Structure 1
Amino acid sequence: MSTAPTSTSSPETLLAASSEAVSSEAASSEAAPAPAAPGAGGEQPAHSRHARRFGLPVATALVMGNIIGGGIFLLPASVAPFGTISLVAFGILTLGAIALALVFGRLAHRLPRTGGPYVYARAAFGDFAGFLAAWSYWITAWVSNAALAVAAVGYLDVLVPIHDSKAATIGAALLIQWLPALANLAGTRYVGAVQIVATVLKFVPLLLVAIGGFLFFDSANLGPFQATGGSALGAVSASAAILLFSYLGVESAAVSAGEVRDPRRNVGRATVLGTLGAATLYLLGTLSVFGTVAHDKLVTSTAPFSDAVNVMFGGSWGGAAVACMALVSMVGALNGWTLLSAQAPYAAARDGLFPKVFTVKRRGVPTVGVLVTVVLASLLTVYNYTAGTKGVFEILVLVTTFTATVPYLLSTAAQIYFLLSGQSEKVSRARLVRDGVLALAAFGFSLWLVAGSGYAAVYQGVLFLFAGVLVYAAMAARKGRAAATAG
């Protein structure tokens, strides 16, 4: 990968340098990781058998696996109190997610480099915007990992009761986080293998419930269209706020573009295919559970898919089966998110915006980024259990929804900048209009995500971002001193 320009470079220079990086990466062989930037110590040689570029199937699985974590197993019960109007919110969110996916596909075609939103924001608006994108995305990743681990422990408890022992609960949560981290440290070859296996194992049973449930569908179970008072728009927005976290991950292939084979072609396709697949499973699964479990029971359910399986086949074995599915799903999501959480700081560190140690790579994986991420997520997990601050932890999860919208907003704004500044590729006017409409739709969708996060989450998220400004100031000062010394 070519080294990105310094902070004094103009957007046009950044685009030119990015084009050179594209040419370099596109020429890499299938088995080779992206070449190291100068000073990015620790890259494995191109012939390393542990590093391998992702093809379209693995990239698609990465997107689907990261979007569909453990949330789908709780979503039907979470939105049931609003009534079936929540399906309208699902539809709106799906359209917005697809718009984002298409925009990321176009941006990845222009700048197919590891880093995703960071690369796009920096190319359009300079170092500070790029840093904010990388910083906020990094926060999103490791806090989400902690949330997934805590949720996974709840399903593990169904199989192996551990809730009476706090030490066992904490140990299980840490083990669930560190196993995917070890798979990442083994190399991108093993990350892809784990992702494919996890995706297959979780989608087969989920599809069985989502499709098989319609054989037992009873419209009487759906309950009222709008179960809460107030306006329909308010009900849609309220249910959408719960569903927002479930669609994070549409940018997964773009963030790892440097590790995707033929990224100009495959990143966009994987992003759209992964988002469509996840959205289809979300909608089918939720509607199926709505129609098989009575509404008054669903609103109080803690395991809606288990209840649906019990209705479909009788008995009480559904809880254990769904617990296994949830564990596989969340371990697969942790596997993918661990990789993504290391990619953003790696790309920023290459350009001197994160500490240089984040550029260390082994077997195609930014090892320091993986280790720092899993340590931070582990500390947050331990704090959550020992302090007993469930409400604080839930706020932090909502913060991830807000922090994820920062790179989304910057990425869509970058696409609008490229289109309006005349730096777009030579395509037809119709294509330019279509790209512009998609970018505006994705930008509006991202603003809606901010509003849906709630005041408390936005407040906490802004504090996280301001803490990052201090880090940027320190890194910018170091770059300035280095430039003055060199001059």
Structure 2
Amino acid sequence: MVEQKTAGAPQVAGPRQGALAERILRRKPVERLASEAGQGEGGSLRRSMGLAQLTMISIGATLGTGIFVVLGEAVPIAGPAVVLSFVIAGVTALFSALAYAELAGMIPASGSAYSYAYATMGELVAWVCGWCLMLTYGVSVAAVAVGWGEYINELLRLVTGVTLPGALTQPPGADGGIVNIPAAVVVLLAMVALLGGVRESAALNGVMVAIKVAVMVMFVGIAFTAIQDGNFAPFMPLGMAGVSAAGATLFFSYIGFDAASTAGEEAKNPQRDLPRAIMLSLIIVTAIYCLVAFVAVGAMPWTDFADTEASLAHILTVVTGTPVWSVVFAIGAVIAIASVVLVVLYGQTRILFAMSRDGLIPKVFSKLDRRGNPSANTVILSVAIAVLAAVVPLGHLADATSIGTLFAFGLVNVAVLVLRRSRPDIERRFRMPLAPLTPILGVASCAYLMLSMGAATWITFAVWMAVGFAVYFGYSMKRSVLHRETEEAQAAG
């Protein structure tokens, strides 16, 4: 690797233009990633968030999906042992969260795992990671939006006794569905909130997080009185294979801590606050997930979850004999799930912002308006996800999200190993304990959950990756900023 300088540009670490292998392995130095933080087309992002806001972003993106949306799909697979599935997914997430905490404290960039890969494993791996994150975030928003529509219907049923017709609340091919309008609506509402500004969106998210935690506490307090020992038997009806498969699906519930790292260029003190926010949010969310799952399967036979939409609200109705608490819960769920859509959509826009700044996707995604918001990015992405949410079933979305997340998180653990060896001189505000054992375990646990997924999910992932490679070699590689700067340097002599 050689150092090159171009007029008006920071130093670039990369090989001379030549063999394909050299081009796809070019890396972006950690120092350059830090120096570029916040810079976009025509302006810069604004540093306005402290530890509290970053923690709320992480909790807001995480707390809700696994409990409000995916729990009803995981229980029929794992039975009462779904609590263990949450633990398995949480431990897997913990290894990756530790890796994120170390890297986020070193590289305060909007690109999250994409940026970490660019600094350690080269441009092609960074592209693969970013492409996986596009799947993870975009599909995650759509999947959660579908769950939001289910709770809207549940709320209408509890309050008015009627529900929206299936043709307008289900995707094509599901219960007579044509288009899921509520799912598209919540994505567009989140778009409007983000266009209002980051500080305002963070404040709104903070209120939503407080409401969702209060709703979870209310559920535990009420449903705990109805726990029956018999509901825990058989504890593992489909064996460890069912527990692992449910854990792989539920990993979808833990991707939110990555959202905090996407705020690296808008944090006031990212090196100090990002690691703290990531670890604090993961601890809080895992504890709530396991507690609510335990109470839920204790209060209602696990076989009843397969036929029940909005399962937790239904439990409250059964336990109390009145729909009042279910109405309160459904209102809280609608607000809580909307916060997940808001924050995860925010994270997606920042990853696309970083990739666009590097030239790997069109420059429109890094163009900032006069208030420092990537407004064009937000509108384009939101409209695309709203369409996805309206026409694709939830189950396929959640599984596709999980496998993309696991792959990206595995790369983050590898990035820690690479930087520990190649750049031991860089100051680390947080160090992943017991390395290299912990990042190796992080990679292994991600691989274990990926292998627990079905063939259909792997086929979806393979098709997505094939499209990604075609886009990279057909468009991104030749338009990369590093590629252009290398060519300019060679032309200059």
Can you list the C-alpha shifts for 1:14-61, whole angstroms capped at 9, x where unaligned?
A: 13323545xxx6xxxxxxxx3x25xx22447xxxxxx55211111111
RMSD: 2.8
Match of residue 66 from structure 2:
71
Q: Shift of residue 432 of structure 1?
A: 7.3
Can you list the C-alpha shifts for 1:327-384, whole angstroms capped at 9, x where unaligned?
A: 1111100110111111111111111112111111233432222112111112223434
1:175 lines up with 2:185 in the alignment: yes
Match of residue 402 from structure 2:
401
Can you list the C-alpha shifts for 1:423-472, whole angstroms capped at 9, x where unaligned?
A: 364789x9676132221122112212322332221221121122122222
Contact 1:303 1:319 (8 Å CA) reproduced:
no
Q: What letter corresponds to residue 383 of structure 1 in structure 2?
A: V
Moved more, 104-113 or 147-156: 147-156
Counterpart CA distance in 2 for 1:367 and 1:3 is 27
Match of residue 373 from structure 2:
365
Change (3 A) 1:400 1:417: same
Counterpart CA distance in 2 for 1:462 and 1:7 is 29
Matched ranges for 1:22-37 at <5 A:
34=38, 36-37=39-40
Q: Shift of residue 13 of structure 1?
A: 6.5
Match of residue 439 from structure 2:
439
Identify which of 256, 259, 262 aligns with 1:249: 256
Contact 2:34 2:107 (8 Å CA) reproduced:
yes
Q: What letter corresponds to residue 402 of structure 1 in structure 2?
A: I
**What secondary structure sits across from 2:309 in the alignment?**
coil
Q: How many residues align?
A: 455
Q: What letter corresponds to residue 417 of structure 1 in structure 2?
A: V
Change (3 A) 1:225 1:67: same
Q: Could you tell me the TM-score, scaled by structure 1's length?
A: 0.85
Identify which of 117, 121, 125 aligns with 2:117: 121
Q: What letter corresponds to residue 262 of structure 2 in structure 1?
A: V
Contact 1:69 1:333 (8 Å CA) reproduced:
yes
Q: What letter corresponds to residue 141 of structure 2 in structure 1?
A: N
Matched ranges for 1:51-130 at <5 A:
51=46, 53-81=48-76, 82-130=78-126
Gaps of at least 5 residues in structure 2 are 1-8, 17-24, 157-161, 170-178
**What secondary structure sits across from 2:257 in the alignment?**
coil
1:267 lines up with 2:307 in the alignment: no
1:461 lines up with 2:457 in the alignment: no
Q: Shift of residue 75 of structure 1?
A: 4.6
Moved more, 67-76 or 3-12: 3-12
1:188 lines up with 2:198 in the alignment: yes
1:374 lines up with 2:375 in the alignment: no
Moved more, 289-298 or 11-20: 11-20
Match of residue 205 from structure 1:
215
Counterpart CA distance in 2 for 1:423 and 1:203 is 40
Contact 2:65 2:337 (8 Å CA) reproduced:
yes
Match of residue 330 from structure 1:
337
Contact 2:86 2:250 (8 Å CA) reproduced:
yes
Change (3 A) 1:99 1:364: farther
1:132 lines up with 2:128 in the alignment: yes
**What secondary structure sits across from 2:452 in the alignment?**
helix
Counterpart CA distance in 1 for 2:63 and 2:408 is 20
Matched ranges for 1:447-486 at <5 A:
447-473=447-473, 474-479=475-480, 480=483, 484=487
Q: Shift of residue 179 of structure 1?
A: 0.8
Contact 1:11 1:124 (8 Å CA) reproduced:
no
Contact 1:395 1:457 (8 Å CA) reproduced:
yes
Q: What letter corresponds to residue 146 of structure 2 in structure 1?
A: V
Q: What letter corresponds to residue 386 of structure 2 in structure 1?
A: S
Change (3 A) 1:368 1:466: farther
Q: What letter corresponds to residue 310 of structure 1 in structure 2?
A: T
Can you list the C-alpha shifts for 1:162-193, whole angstroms capped at 9, x where unaligned?
A: 53273586443322111111111111111101
Counterpart CA distance in 1 for 2:86 and 2:152 is 28
Can you list the C-alpha shifts for 1:386-428, whole angstroms capped at 9, x where unaligned?
A: xxxx4xx632431121122232122111111112335364789
Match of residue 6 from structure 2:
none
Can you list the C-alpha shifts for 1:246-305, whole angstroms capped at 9, x where unaligned?
A: 122221111221112211111111111111111111111011112222445445433321
**What secondary structure sits across from 1:227 in the alignment?**
coil
Match of residue 32 from structure 2:
17
Can you list the C-alpha shifts for 1:213-237, whole angstroms capped at 9, x where unaligned?
A: 3344332332311223xxx432321
Counterpart CA distance in 2 for 1:241 and 1:269 is 26
**Identity fraction in percent:** 23
Counterpart CA distance in 2 for 1:13 and 1:149 is 35
Counterpart CA distance in 1 for 2:397 and 2:432 is 39
Change (3 A) 1:72 1:257: same
Contact 2:72 2:311 (8 Å CA) reproduced:
yes
Q: What letter corresponds to residue 51 of structure 2 in structure 1?
A: L
Q: What letter corresponds to residue 244 of structure 2 in structure 1?
A: S
Counterpart CA distance in 1 for 2:228 and 2:126 is 50
Counterpart CA distance in 2 for 1:12 and 1:482 is 13
Change (3 A) 1:317 1:247: same
Change (3 A) 1:116 1:223: same
Contact 1:221 1:290 (8 Å CA) reproduced:
yes
**What secondary structure sits across from 1:220 in the alignment?**
helix
Counterpart CA distance in 1 for 2:60 and 2:208 is 8
Match of residue 167 from structure 2:
166
Q: Shift of residue 11 of structure 1?
A: 7.4
Match of residue 223 from structure 1:
233
Counterpart CA distance in 2 for 1:331 and 1:142 is 15
